[in-house]
């Protein structure tokens, strides 16, 4: 049989429009899911907008000094978020310095070294850390961790006080119980916040490490690799995005932590670059501290504006983290 | 690289202490294997001598790949996997308590069905990855020699010598597979196991790899699993036909010189399979 060409009409040579009539159930499902998706965006946008609007009367009243003033002196009409922004970043960075190595090694242990049968147990234990209410962490930090953390702080101050960051305005050689300067510092608050960051960062890293391609793992093992070799050659290069992203998500969490910081950091409205030394303030602890006695009007608006600053910082960090995590998962595997 | 240079290379104290003895004798003795309670291999005996390419043929699910993975201790990576019997490398059981698993796997290399170079490493880094992975330090000039030598043995050198620093993932599928072969050769294994190395490749790449196998056969003992009868006939000198009849564990029906398996098989099931009447 010979193939016969269909008659071609040359008049209507052009791209045709392809459309399918959707089934009613498809249409309903699509509508509902789009609606829910849009709702999330609208809610986040509305919160951001609501907070941003509060900036207008605040800047009108206090001027742009609002962003550079350290004090929160409502009566003296000197109100600003500079100390709080600094404190938030300070506490969050301390928390990350502690949480990052612990989360990374925990995630590696769970994915690479833990006996298979014990793996679910370890996973749920780390997840349980995320379920502990932050007020409990705060109390634990204040009554239990602080007593031990003081010794570390004192040691750091003693040996590293040549670094301005670790300087404490007191004599480090007297007994710890005479040293109220070491208590309720950004360092102690950071340690407590680290406990809350670890499970979040660890979960993200573990998720990515688990996805490290089996083919490359086997390739490494078949070359006589040790488990550490597999981690170096396969797991860490593949999981780099997850490590960075998980850490930054943790940073977002640390920036917003309130109750535990309120308990473990004594509130002073002043930029305190000495992490080991008593006193500091974060944006969220500032709001929690002053919300109760704020007048309706510009005082309340000033607190909400501080909330906007925190919202913007967290949104920024989380967005970057999200971009890094999604980007790394695609493209890190071998494709022929 | 000259023969002397090769000798020099393997004489360096930093290099894995191993006599470059042109392949080793690998013997599987009474190998049985289970996944959970499901027995997949029953008392398999096979001798794989040096300078001979052994092909494992048979329909899917007959236990060829399981058998191959037992030969370099990859089988035990599966949580429920168990095995019985011994695998002897030059007479010594690789499953003996005093044998280090990393050492065994280095001496018995493996090339997989799907090419799996390390995507974040360059071509050169891929070749010497095995040394890094098992903690062997290589001097800079030895490293360059080793990279060239390994790529030459894998038949890839001419194609990549000007772009050794580009990522291994940028090569074509066939080149990636030869890169994986070079990577396996760089740790100077005694045995090279190949699990359907050409099944993901086009005919030209397949021919290139078969040529590589024939070039290497006098240097390392090669065992290859293949579904391609013509390939088995082309590259192997010895052949083992695996079969698992419904409900029973797999085993070797017939093993012997490739000419005999393809020319005058003794078992009618072998004849049916090699002549394409089933499988």
**Mean pLDDT across A54-62:** 88
pLDDT(A170) > 90: no
pLDDT(B109) > 70: yes
- Residue A79's pLDDT band, with cuts at 50, 70 and 90, is confident
CB-CB neighbours of A315 under 10 Å: 14
Q: Which of A116, A233, A334 sits opposite B129 (nearest CB)?
A: A233
Say whether A336 and B183 touch across the interface (CB within 8 A): no
**Mean pLDDT across B83-97:** 92
- Residue A156's pLDDT band, with cuts at 50, 70 and 90, is confident
pLDDT at A307: 92
Say whether B106 and A232 touch across the interface (CB within 8 A): no
Nearest CA in chain A to B194: A222
pLDDT at A73: 84
- Residues from chain B that touch A116, judged by Cβ atoms under 8 A, are 79
Higher pLDDT, residue B67 or A334: B67
Say whether A234 and B119 touch across the interface (CB within 8 A): no
Say whether A216 and B119 touch across the interface (CB within 8 A): yes
A233 min Cα distance to partner chain B (Å): 7
**Mean pLDDT across B82-109:** 92
Nearest CA in chain B to A333: B119
**Mean pLDDT across A196-210:** 91
pLDDT at B32: 93
Nearest CA in chain B to A213: B116
Q: Is residue B90 within 8 Å of B107, Cβ to Cβ?
A: no
- Residues from chain A that touch B132, judged by Cβ atoms under 8 A, are 229, 232-233
pLDDT at A202: 93
pLDDT at A14: 81
**Mean pLDDT across A31-50:** 94
Element (H, E) at A33: helix A24-62
**Mean pLDDT across A195-202:** 92
What is the DSSP code string of chain B? --HHHHHHHHHSTTS------S---EEEEEEEEEETTEEEEEEEEEEE-TT-EEEEE--TTSSHHHHHHHHTT-GGGSTTEEEEEEEEETTEETTSTTS-HHHHHHHEEEE-SS----TTSBHHHHHTHHHHHTT----HHHHHHHHHHHHHHTT-HHHHTT-TTSBGGGS-HHHHHHHHHHHHHHT--SEEEEESTTTTS-HHHHHHHHHHHHHHTTTSEEEEE-S-HHHHHHH-SEEEEEE--TTS-BEEEEEEEHHHHHHS-SSHHHHHHHTTS--
Say whether A219 and B120 touch across the interface (CB within 8 A): no
- Residue B18's pLDDT band, with cuts at 50, 70 and 90, is very low
- Residue A47's pLDDT band, with cuts at 50, 70 and 90, is very high
Is B135 in the A-facing interface, judged by CB distances under 8 Å?
yes
**Mean pLDDT across B44-72:** 92
Q: Is residue B123 within 8 Å of B165, Cβ to Cβ?
A: yes
**Mean pLDDT across B121-126:** 92
Please choose, from the candidates B85, B99, B100, B67, the residue with its C-alpha nearest in 3D space to the C-alpha of residue B252.
B67
Q: Which pLDDT tens digit goes with each residue over B232-271?
A: 999 999 999 999 888 889 999 999 999 999 988 899 999 9
- Report ipTM for this prediction: 0.85
Rounded Cα distance, A80 and A281, in Å: 12
Say whether A223 and B106 touch across the interface (CB within 8 A): yes
Interface list for chain A against chain B, based on CB atoms closer than 8 Å: 116, 213, 215-216, 218-226, 229-230, 232-234, 237-238, 332-336
- Residues from chain A that touch B187, judged by Cβ atoms under 8 A, are 223-224
Rounded Cα distance, A300 and A311, in Å: 16
Say whether A218 and B103 touch across the interface (CB within 8 A): no
Say whether A220 and B103 touch across the interface (CB within 8 A): no
pLDDT at B17: 38
pLDDT at A264: 86
Burial class for A204, CB neighbours closer than 10 Å (0-12, 13-18, 19+): buried
**Mean pLDDT across A216-236:** 91
- Residue A123's pLDDT band, with cuts at 50, 70 and 90, is very high
pLDDT(B213) > 80: yes
pLDDT(A239) > 60: yes
Nearest CA in chain A to B188: A223
- Residues from chain B that touch A328, judged by Cβ atoms under 8 A, are none
pLDDT at B132: 86
Say whether A222 and B79 touch across the interface (CB within 8 A): no
A93 min Cα distance to partner chain B (Å): 30
Nearest CA in chain B to A219: B116
- Residue B48's pLDDT band, with cuts at 50, 70 and 90, is very high
pLDDT(A110) > 90: yes
Q: Which pLDDT tens digit goes with each residue over A257-311?
A: 888 888 888 888 888 888 888 888 899 999 988 888 888 888 888 899 999 999 9
Nearest CA in chain B to A227: B133
Say whether A333 and B176 touch across the interface (CB within 8 A): no
- Residue A7's pLDDT band, with cuts at 50, 70 and 90, is low
Q: Which pLDDT tens digit goes with each residue over B134-155?
A: 778 888 888 999 999 999 888 8
Say whether A215 and B116 touch across the interface (CB within 8 A): yes
Higher pLDDT, residue A328 or A231: A231
Rounded Cα distance, A39 and A57, in Å: 28
Please choose, from the candidates A100, A96, A94, A92, the residue with its C-alpha nearest in 3D space to the C-alpha of residue A153.
A94
> Please, what is the average pLDDT of chain A?
86
pLDDT at A332: 46
pLDDT(A334) > 60: no
pLDDT(A8) > 70: no
Higher pLDDT, residue B191 or A175: B191
pLDDT(B22) > 70: no
pLDDT at A3: 65
């Amino acid at each position: 049989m010979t193939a016969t060409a269909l008659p071609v009409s040359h008049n209507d040579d052009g791209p045709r429009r392809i459309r399918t009539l959707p089934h009613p159930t498809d249409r309903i499902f699509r509508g509902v899911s789009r609606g829910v998706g849009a709702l999330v965006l609208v809610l986040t946008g509305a919160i951001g907008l609501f907070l941003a609007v509060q900036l207008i009367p605040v800047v009108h009243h206090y001027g742009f000094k609002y962003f550079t003033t350290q004090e929160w002196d409502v009566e003296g009409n000197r109100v600003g978020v500079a100390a709080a922004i600094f404190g938030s970043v300070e506490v969050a960075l301390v928390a990350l310095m502690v949480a990052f190595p612990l989360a990374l090694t925990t995630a590696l242990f769970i994915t690479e070294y833990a006996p298979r049968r014990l793996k679910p147990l370890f996973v749920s234990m780390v997840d349980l850390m995320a379920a502990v209410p932050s007020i409990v962490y705060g109390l634990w930090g204040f009554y239990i961790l602080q007593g031990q953390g003081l010794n570390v702080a004192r040691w750091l101050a003693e040996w590293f006080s040549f670094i301005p960051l670790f300087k404490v305005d007191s004599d480090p050689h007297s007994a710890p119980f005479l040293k109220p300067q070491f208590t309720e510092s950004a360092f102690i608050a950071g340690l407590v916040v680290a406990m809350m960051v670890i499970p979040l960062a660890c979960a993200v890293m573990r998720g990515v490490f688990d996805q490290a391609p089996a083919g490359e793992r086997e390739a490494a093992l078949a070359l006589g690799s040790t488990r550490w070799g597999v981690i170096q050659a396969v797991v860490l290069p593949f999981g780099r995005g997850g490590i960075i992203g998980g850490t930054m998500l943790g940073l977002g969490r640390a920036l917003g932590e309130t109750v535990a910081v309120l308990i473990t950091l004594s509130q002073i409205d002043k930029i305190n670059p000495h992490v080991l030394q008593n006193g500091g303030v974060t944006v969220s602890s500032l709001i929690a501290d002053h919300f109760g006695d704020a007048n309706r009007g510009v005082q309340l608006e000033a607190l909400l504006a501080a909330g906007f600053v925190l919202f913007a910082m967290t949104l920024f960090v989380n967005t970057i983290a999200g971009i890094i995590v999604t980007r790394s998962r695609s493209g890190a595997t071998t494709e022929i | 690289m000259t023969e002397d240079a090769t000798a020099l290379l393997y004489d360096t104290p930093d290099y894995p202490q191993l006599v470059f003895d042109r392949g080793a004798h690998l013997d599987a003795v009474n190998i049985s294997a289970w996944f959970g309670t499901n027995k997949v291999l029953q008392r398999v005996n096979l001798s794989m001598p040096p300078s001979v390419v052994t092909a494992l043929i048979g329909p899917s699910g007959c236990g060829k790949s399981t058998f191959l993975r037992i030969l370099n201790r990859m089988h035990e990576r599966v949580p429920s996997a168990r095995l019985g019997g011994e695998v002897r490398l030059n007479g010594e059981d690789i499953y003996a308590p005093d044998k280090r698993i990393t050492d065994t796997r280095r001496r018995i290399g493996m090339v997989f069905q799907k090419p799996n170079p390390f995507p974040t490493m360059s071509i050169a880094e891929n070749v010497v990855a095995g040394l890094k992975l098992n903690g062997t330090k290589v001097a800079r000039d030895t490293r360059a020699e080793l990279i060239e030598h390994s790529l030459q043995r894998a038949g890839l050198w001419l194609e990549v010598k000007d772009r050794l620093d580009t990522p291994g993932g940028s090569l074509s599928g066939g080149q990636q597979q030869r890169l994986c072969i070079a990577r396996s050769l760089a740790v100077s294994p005694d045995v090279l196991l190949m699990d359907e190395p050409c099944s993901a490749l086009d005919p030209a790449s397949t021919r290139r790899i078969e040529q590589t196998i024939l070039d290497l056969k006098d240097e390392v003992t090669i065992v290859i699993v293949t579904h391609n009868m013509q390939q088995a006939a082309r590259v192997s000198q010895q052949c083992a036909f695996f079969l698992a009849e419904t409900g029973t564990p797999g085993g070797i029906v017939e093993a012997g010189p490739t000419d005999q398996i393809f020319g005058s098989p003794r078992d009618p099931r072998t004849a049916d399979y090699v002549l394409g009447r089933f499988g």
